[in-house]
Amino acid sequence: MRGAVIYAPGDVRLEQRPNPTIVHPTDAVIRTVATCVCGSDLWDYRGINPVTEPTPIGHEYVGVVEEVGDQVETIQPGQFVIGSFFASDNTCPNCRNGYPSSCVHREFVGGCQAEYVRVPLADGTLVATPDQPAPELVPSLLALSDVMGTGWYAAAAAEVKPGSTVAVVGDGAVGLCAVIAARELGAQRIIAMSRHEPRQKLALEFGATDIVTERGDDGVARIKDMTDGIGADAVLECVGTGESMLQALRSTRPGGNVGFVGVPHGADIPAEELFYSHVGLRGGPAPVRANLPDLIERTFDGRIQPGKVFDLTLPLDQVGDAYRAMDERRAVKVLLRP
Amino acid sequence: MRGAVIYAPGDVRLEQRPNPTIVHPTDAVIRTVATCVCGSDLWDYRGINPVTEPTPIGHEYVGVVEEVGDQVETIQPGQFVIGSFFASDNTCPNCRNGYPSSCVHREFVGGCQAEYVRVPLADGTLVATPDQPAPELVPSLLALSDVMGTGWYAAAAAEVKPGSTVAVVGDGAVGLCAVIAARELGAQRIIAMSRHEPRQKLALEFGATDIVTERGDDGVARIKDMTDGIGADAVLECVGTGESMLQALRSTRPGGNVGFVGVPHGADIPAEELFYSHVGLRGGPAPVRANLPDLIERTFDGRIQPGKVFDLTLPLDQVGDAYRAMDERRAVKVLLRP
């Protein structure tokens, strides 16, 4: 089969790779219907995470089940399925507590920018759609495999409630999906922090009520101006740098919450400042699996359309172009069709 | 009047100081009935916080109102009152949100190891008891002015609920009061981490169900052993060092919470570790004022007896001995009588 492999920063190639097979009796193999490039793939592509050897890349996928192992009970060949980038058993204490991305048996599902993917713990990991989806739903369902689930978790971790004032730091696909999540959770005011006009437009379409173009201290000052001087109830940190974390912390009111979903690539969190801020903080790799049933329903109902974050679609053959387009910020997020 | 002044690490003296007077029309002056030495006073006494000039010290007090300013409406001379170490107006947005210790007009109430104290924003800051308390209630009411309110906030910030498994890091007065709070909030299991026998006994008396004597990595391993390998639902960090914070974070299950109330005096919080832990974190100077009415009621009802943390009572004249006893861990907490 064909699959993308990263060799070095800036060097992603489509290659012939062996077809995945059932390794454990709880595995499934799926034929990928759509996959995509994630902001976190860019950490490797930009050399911020080291690339020590050629590595199959990509962790977002929707597809049709091709084959299942002997112990798979609920997932069946022919089903259209969505899964998270972390396989999970859906039965361990952490899964039962709502954190499948901390499953005691979790396993990263990598190499998904490919024609086929092996998914471990298929019964726990994959969720089948109620019907075969119409083609126009596929991008939104693909978004559920990471960015929409991650945006949702940012809002949930920041305890967005009906009536909340929310600020979203980051206008990538996750930040934009976080706007959708804040709207669905009933936020009254949603301030998207973005200086890119096409992303601002999409944020407004997704439910943002205000746009703030300033960043850093100026951005914090604008949020304070807009919130009686005290800060937002909930701030969704969807970037992952030390600067974006400080911007988020300082934009939150005492007693408010920051949900942080960008993988931290920056300074540690200043303990004393966090202490005096009275801000609550929760982050992590989103427990995507936990929210899939709900988000699939919202997608089939047409209440959310996170697939709009894909502003470029390319054949899998052009995976190198997909990375370049996102690296150069010419695209918010690129969908790849095998 | 007589009042304690810190001159340098290890050097606290009782001196003649001018009697406090009404400075602002919203002030009250109270005659101190009891005051005490706080674990956080030891940061100065031990030279960990710099002492740059002779400074009146102490921030815990109960007393009888002596005089009020022209604009004070509810607090009256003769009332027995308790207040927090932060004066607050009780009307600003942060106060209304439950965080009077982030009041936009907050002011530190210092120099309380003295015969009289000036309390700013008296109507917002002070809470009068329903009656003049019996003498045996005074230690518990004094504990409400800081350590009991702080232990309560640790438990609330860590979202202790009925049925929770809770671990308490720190066996000082705050950690011991946090055990009381966890019990009152309905925790099913309360693990006190302590290696000092008298403190273990008091923890058990306050409601702890288990004692863990190990610290650091060994302490974390013990908590994991006791909790299906995943960690406690809520961990109350009542120390304030980098080590105690890591111990707390690593003892908490994914999706659980750390409430941290020891003023951080250590390394910053590792952002990546916090991210992958899925642990929620909230701390800060406790919003003592917000819980005073509830905690006064629990004290008058006899449901809580936080005054038991005072295992030594000295006349204010012996304030230097009080600091020495706490510094050398000969006393958990020393009550001073002017």
Contacts of residue A124, Cβ cutoff 8 Å, sequence gap at least 6: A87, A88, A89, A90, A91, A95, A100, A103, A289
Neighbouring CB atoms inside 10 A of A23's CB total 11
Share of chain B above pLDDT 90, in %: 97
B245/A contact by beta carbon, under 8 A = yes
- Quick one: B8 and B120 in the same domain? yes
Task: Extract the tokens encoding B110.
Answer: 């210092």
pLDDT in tens, A82-121: 999 999 999 999 999 999 999 999 999 999 999 999 999 9
Q: How much helix, strand and coil, in percent to the nearest 5, is found in chain A?
A: 35, 25, 40
Same domain, B136 and B159: no
**B168-218 pLDDT tens trace:** 999 999 999 999 999 999 999 999 999 999 999 999 999 999 999 999 999
C-alpha closest to that of B323 among B8, B1, B108:
B8
Is B264 close to A271, i.e. CB distance below 8 A?
yes
A160 and A75 both lie in a single domain: no
Note whether A23 contacts B: Cβ–Cβ < 8 A: no
From the list B99, B92, B194, the residue with the least C-alpha distance to B153 is: B99
CATH number for B36: 3.90.180.10
Q: Which residues of B touch A157 (CB under 8 A)?
A: 280
Q: DSSP letter string over A221-275?
A: HHHHHHTTTT-EEEEEE-S-SHHHHHHHHHTEEEEEEEEE-SPP-SPPB-HHHHH
Partners of A150 on chain B (C-beta within 8 Å) are none
Does B82 share its domain with B175? Answer: no
Element (H, E) at B318: none
State pLDDT tens for residues B226-262.
999 999 999 999 999 999 999 999 999 999 999 999 9
Q: Residue A244 belongs to what domain range?
A: 148-283
Task: Tally C-beta pairs within 8 A across A and B.
Answer: 116
Q: Residue B242: how many CB atoms within 10 A of its CB? A: 16
Write down the pLDDT at residue B265.
85
pLDDT score for B267: 83
- Tell me which residue has tokens 């930040």: A175
Complex ipTM: 0.96
Please state the separation of Cα A129 from the chain's center in Å. Answer: 19
Q: What is the CATH number of the domain that holds B157?
A: 3.40.50.720
A101 has a chain B CB within 8 A of its CB: yes
Q: What is the mean pLDDT of residues B27-32?
A: 98
Interface touch A282/B281, C-beta < 8 Å: yes
Return residues 212-231 of B near A (CB < 8 Å).
228-230
What confidence score (pLDDT) does residue B93 get? 97
Task: Judge whether A328 is closer than 8 Å to chain B, CB to CB.
Answer: no
**Pair B106, B195 in one domain:** no
B50 and B97 share one domain: yes
- Indicate if the pLDDT at residue B156 is higher than 90: yes
Same domain, B183 and B255: yes
Q: What angle do CA A232, A238, A241 make, to 5 degrees?
A: 105
Backbone φ, ψ for residue A191 (5° rounding) = -100, 115
A48/B contact by beta carbon, under 8 A: no
Average pLDDT over residues B131-141: 97
Nearest CA in chain A to B153: A278
Q: What is the per-residue pLDDT for B74?
A: 97
**Chain-chain contact of A284 with B266 (C-beta, under 8 angstroms):** no
The alpha carbon of residue A278 is apart from the nearest alpha carbon of chain B, in Å, by 5
Q: Do A268 and B268 touch (CB under 8 A)?
A: yes
Tell me, yes or no, if A280 comes closer than 8 A to chain B by beta carbon: yes
Contact B223, B212 (CB under 8 A): yes
pLDDT attached to residue A240: 92
Task: Summarize the confidence of residues B7-33 as an average pLDDT.
Answer: 97
Residue B242 shares a structural domain with residue B140? no
- The whole-number average pLDDT for the span B289-301 is 98
CA distance B280 to chain A (A): 4
Structure token pair of residue A11: 């060097």
Tell me if A253 and B104 make a contact (CB, 8 A cut-off): no
Tokens standing for residue B267: 């390394």
Of the candidates A37, A56, A30, A27, the one whose C-alpha atom is nearest the C-alpha of residue A116 is A30
d(CA A308, CA A321): 20
d(CA B126, CA B109): 12
SS3 state at B219: helix
Determine the Cα–Cα distance for residues B166 and B178; give it in Å rounded to an integer.
10
Measured between CA atoms, the residue of chain A closest to residue B237 is: A275
pLDDT band, residue B266 (cuts 50/70/90): confident
Nearest CA to A36 among A99, A85, A94, A91?
A: A85
Q: Are A285 and B270 inside 8 Å of each other by CB?
A: no
In one-letter notation, the amino acid at residue B169 is: V
Tokens of B121: 């924003």
B242 touches chain A (CB under 8 A): yes
Instruction: Output the pLDDT for position A263.
Output: 87
Instruction: Return the DSSP state at A114.
Output: B
pLDDT in tens, A211-247: 999 999 999 999 999 999 999 999 999 999 999 999 9
Residue A248 corresponds to which tokens in the numbers above?
Answer: 């988020």
- Domain identity same for A110 and A184: no
Yes or no: say if A28 and A57 are a contact pair by the CB < 8 Å rule: no
Cα–Cα distance for residue pair B295/B303, rounded to 1 Å: 9
Structure tokens that stand for B2 in this block: 């007589």
Q: Which of A37-51, A102-116, A309-323, B208-222 has the lowest mean pLDDT?
A: A37-51
Of residues B104, B264, B267, nearest to A275 (C-beta): B264
Choose one of B267, B283, B299: the last residue of a domain.
Answer: B283
The verdict on B229 and B170 lying in the same domain is yes
Taking only the tens place, the pLDDT of each residue in A257-305 is 999 999 888 789 999 999 999 999 999 999 999 999 999 999 999 999 9
Å between A265 CA and nearest CA of chain B: 8
A33, A76, A78, A221 from A123: Cα distances, Å: 19, 9, 15, 48
Q: For chain A, give the percent of residues with pLDDT over 90.
A: 97
* Same-domain status, A155 and A203: yes
Q: What is the pLDDT of residue A188?
A: 98
Residue B255 DSSP one-character state = E
**How many structural domains does chain B have?**
2
Contacts of B269 in chain A (CB under 8 A): 268-271, 274
Residue A161 contacts B where some CB pair is shorter than 8 Å: no
Percentage of the residues of chain A whose pLDDT score is greater than 70: 100
HSE-CB of B204 using CA atoms within 13 angstroms: 11
- A43 at B interface, C-beta within 8 A: no
* Residues A19 and A127 placed together within one structural domain of the fold: yes
